[in-house]
Structure 1
Amino acid sequence: MTIDPRSPFGLLLTAVCIVAFVYLILPILVVVVAPLGDTGYLAFPPQGFTLRWYAAALEDTRYLGGFLTSLRIGVIVALLSTVIGVMAAYGISRYAFPGKALAEALFLSPLILPTLVFAVALSLFFTRTGLLSGDSRLIMGHVIICTPYVIRATLPVLRRFDRTLEEAAQNLGASPLQSFFLILLPVVKTGIVAGCAMAFITSFDEVVLALFLASPGEPTLPVMIYSAVQLGFEPTVAAVSGLLVLLTCVFMVIYQLLGIARQE
């Protein structure tokens, strides 16, 4: 059904969309614009204009180190979570075995467990057992909470996959492993990429587990921002958040340009 944008319902729907868009974007806009003020505190609209807070954020090696640590951990977690999540989703969608529903529920259970409770439990577990150390603890914790996002993103795509494509490839001489990598993965790559992106974003932005499990000598960027906010919300902290928003926008624009280039 096509809705005429000039009809009363179409105009109402357009207005609702605009209000929702402004509601979502305005807080982000405040974070980006507020550090441009010339005052020593945050104000919106900003009073005066200066880039010194953004310059201070770029010159502060602590934030750069935290960003690189979060980036490194996020990439590792995203890769591990994607491999584990795709394998789990493939097994759940492809095979019938006793306790299949229970296995799926267990894989997804970290989504409903409060992160604080999970962080305390993992901290006690690693302390008592002595397993892993440094960033390995945080990576393991992030993998546990990020894998369910990969499963949720890939499982519906795998269930809709036409298995006759694999059968046709195997009839033409492809091995099961070749049909998996050459036929199945390219078809369901959108779900896999979405799950990997969700895992990276979740890991990069997670702060509770990082507070309990991160190495004291290499805190992640969310932990540094959280600690700085506890001492006082200075414009430099907002500038760091604004830089993250701008960096995300740059990646989104590049992704859209690459998509347009591929279509052409």
Structure 2
Amino acid sequence: MSRTRDWPLYVVMAVVILFLLSPLIVVVGASVTTSSFLEFPPRGFSLKWFEEVLGQEVWTTTLITSVKLAVVSMAIATVVGIPCSIALARGDFRGRAAITAFVLSPLMVPSIVLAISLLIIYSRTGIDLPFWRLALAHGVLTAPYLIRTLTAALEQVDSSLEEAARNLGATPVGAWLRVVLPTVRPALIAAMFFAFIMSFDELVVALFLSGPRLTTLPMQIYGEIQYNLSPAIAAVSTLLIFLTVAGVLVIERVLGVRRLVR
């Protein structure tokens, strides 16, 4: 009887899920069209746009560039974020709230403001290494996501466990690596993936700081949308969707999505 009364709720849930998935359906459908224009529903069925994307060096080059940039930015955010998270979660010092607000400020500052500020800094300091200045900028953008996620996880860990390890002879670093890190490892992995995804998908800062010698995948897609609205854009997006789904399945297989969410 209860299931009968709950059917309107199931209908609403199905409509909401369909609405959320509709952009993905449109993108995948537009990627297999035989037409030369980006349209939905597709005309016929063809994989020629995937062949074109995989056969053009510009797409593979920009994809590799974006992956390298995301990996380096994720590493920078991790190196900076772990000590900050430990200090914010374990420290009890004056000005902690102000420091927390400062560290997380890139989350509140518009990307274009941050991009212009970094462009002025790089121009005055004479830094002319497009990849590394963009990697540092992405590290600034992604570090708050890692810090916020990891700090929340560290605050849930009982500090007495770390104290017990130190009483048994472990150094502060050893206690963190052997006791605390295994406990917060799912949260750390989730935070690193946040940093990777945010860097990989970032466009505004890249437009200001990349220069003519460096093009990321979002920049290439943006340029194609402006000057050449072809189904190749949908094909690239479809490939990214399937790669994302594959990554989630691998995480589920190795660690479990539920653990990462917790």
Pair in the same fold by TM > 0.5: yes
Conserved? CA contact 1:116–1:209, under 8 Å: yes
Question: Identity across aligned pairs (percent)?
Answer: 36
Matched, 1:85 2:81: yes
What is aligned with 1:24? 20
Matched, 1:203 2:199: yes
Count of aligned pairs between the two proteins: 257
1:175-223 Cα offsets, whole Å, 9 max, x none, are 2111110100110112211111111000000001111111422200000
What is aligned with 2:32? 36
What is aligned with 2:219? 223
1:96 pairs with 86, 92, 95, which one? 92
SS at match of 2:112: helix
Conserved? CA contact 2:76–2:136, under 8 Å: no
What is aligned with 1:51? 47
| Alignment partners' CA distance in 2, 1:41 and 1:28 | 18
Matched, 1:256 2:256: no
Matched, 1:116 2:112: yes
| Alignment partners' CA distance in 2, 1:15 and 1:45 | 25
| Alignment partners' CA distance in 1, 2:255 and 2:93 | 40
| Alignment partners' CA distance in 1, 2:65 and 2:133 | 14
Matched, 1:6 2:30: no
1:37-59 Cα offsets, whole Å, 9 max, x none, are 11111222211111111100111
Matched, 1:105 2:101: yes
| Alignment partners' CA distance in 2, 1:175 and 1:98 | 26
1:177 pairs with 166, 169, 173, which one? 173
Matched, 1:60 2:56: yes
Deviation at 1:228?
0.9
| Alignment partners' CA distance in 2, 1:258 and 1:187 | 16
| Alignment partners' CA distance in 2, 1:169 and 1:130 | 48
Deviation at 1:7?
5.5
| Alignment partners' CA distance in 1, 2:210 and 2:166 | 47
What is aligned with 2:229? 233
RMSD, matched Cα: 1.8
Conserved? CA contact 2:53–2:232, under 8 Å: yes
Deviation at 1:259?
4.5
| Alignment partners' CA distance in 2, 1:13 and 1:185 | 41
SS at match of 2:104: helix
| Alignment partners' CA distance in 2, 1:18 and 1:82 | 38
Mark the runs of 5 or more structure 2 residues left unpaired by the alignment.
none
1:105-139 Cα offsets, whole Å, 9 max, x none, are 00111111111111111111111221352211101
SS at match of 2:94: coil
1:167 pairs with 163, 167, 184, which one? 163
| Alignment partners' CA distance in 2, 1:195 and 1:211 | 25
| Alignment partners' CA distance in 2, 1:12 and 1:84 | 49
Matched, 1:74 2:70: yes
What is aligned with 1:194? 190
Conserved? CA contact 1:74–1:203, under 8 Å: yes
Normalised by the length of structure 1, the TM-score is 0.92
| Alignment partners' CA distance in 1, 2:166 and 2:147 | 26
Q: Which moved more, 1:37-46 or 1:105-114?
A: 37-46
Whichever residue aligns with residue 32 of structure 1, its letter is V
Conserved? CA contact 1:32–1:243, under 8 Å: no
| Alignment partners' CA distance in 1, 2:7 and 2:167 | 55
Conserved? CA contact 1:77–1:200, under 8 Å: yes
What is aligned with 1:154? 150
Normalised by the length of structure 2, the TM-score is 0.93
